[in-house]
Amino acid sequence: MKTLWQNIFISGINDVPGLKWISLDPYKVKRVKVTANTSVLNVTMEFKKLVLTGLIQSKIEKVSVTNGEIFTMDMKIPKVNIKGNYIMKGNVLVLNLDGKGPFNIDLGDIELGFVVKSKRVSRDSEEFFEVQSVKTNVKHLGSLHVKFNNLFGDNETLTDSANDVFNGMIYWDLCVQLLKKQWMLHC
């Protein structure tokens, strides 16, 4: 089962009628909106025209099936780069953020969990799984390096300082664990 999902995820399926497989590397996303609201972070971020590279190195570590239609998977990804444009409003601690422009994020040593809910459908006397929903859980994030341009408008010094603060955080994994119950992701 693990090998099957690895092949589906990495290689794709080209011989299934009605299924159009998209490129995994680079993987392009039109828009993602993230909101987070905690005692130290209250921010709304919108990312557009994202290009992710490195996903081809993903490895499915574990797969289990419940009721023949719910697949639970663990995946490791050594390194991912994300580039695109952003709009960010809100505040982190005492810093008011109101920026927009290009960004670049490098992530390393990533462990994700997925729950894929599907249902069996029949078409032309053949059976397929139709994906109903996918939930993702960030289990571990080993490293993170960010570069946001224009976080504070034209004030490059303040933008560079904020990027240095973000990149100086050595507990990104803990931050992700604390935030994951607070943020909402909209694709």
Q: Is the dihedral of CA 27, 118, 135, 77 positive or negative?
A: negative
| Cα(101)–Cα(164) distance, integer angstroms | 17
Q: Which domain holds residue 162?
A: 2-186
Would you place residue 43 in the very low, low, confident or very high pLDDT band (cuts 50, 70, 90)?
confident
Confidence (pLDDT) at 187: 46
Confidence (pLDDT) at 93: 74
pLDDT at 72 over 60: yes
Confidence (pLDDT) at 89: 93
In the three-class reduction of DSSP (H, G, I as helix; E, B as strand; rest coil), residue 177 is classed as: helix
Helical (H) or strand (E) element with 41: strand 41-53
Least reliable range by pLDDT among 1-10, 86-95, 129-138? 1-10
Number of domains in the chain: 1
pLDDT tens for each residue of 103-151? 999 999 999 888 888 888 888 888 877 888 888 888 888 888 999 999 8
Residue 53 belongs to domain with CATH number: 3.15.10.30
In the three-class reduction of DSSP (H, G, I as helix; E, B as strand; rest coil), residue 155 is classed as: coil
Query: Which residues 6+ apart lie within 8 Å of 36 measured at CB?
Result: 42, 43, 179, 182, 183
pLDDT tens for each residue of 155-185? 899 899 888 888 887 566 666 665 565 454 5
Q: Which residues partner with 130 through β-bridges?
A: 119
In the DSSP assignment, the letter for residue 181 is: T
Confidence (pLDDT) at 136: 82
- In the block, which residue shows the tokens 């459908």? 121
Confidence (pLDDT) at 120: 86
pTM assigned to the model: 0.77
Give Cα 185 to chain centroid, integer Å: 9
Task: Tell which wins on pLDDT, 41 or 13.
Answer: 41
Confidence (pLDDT) at 13: 52
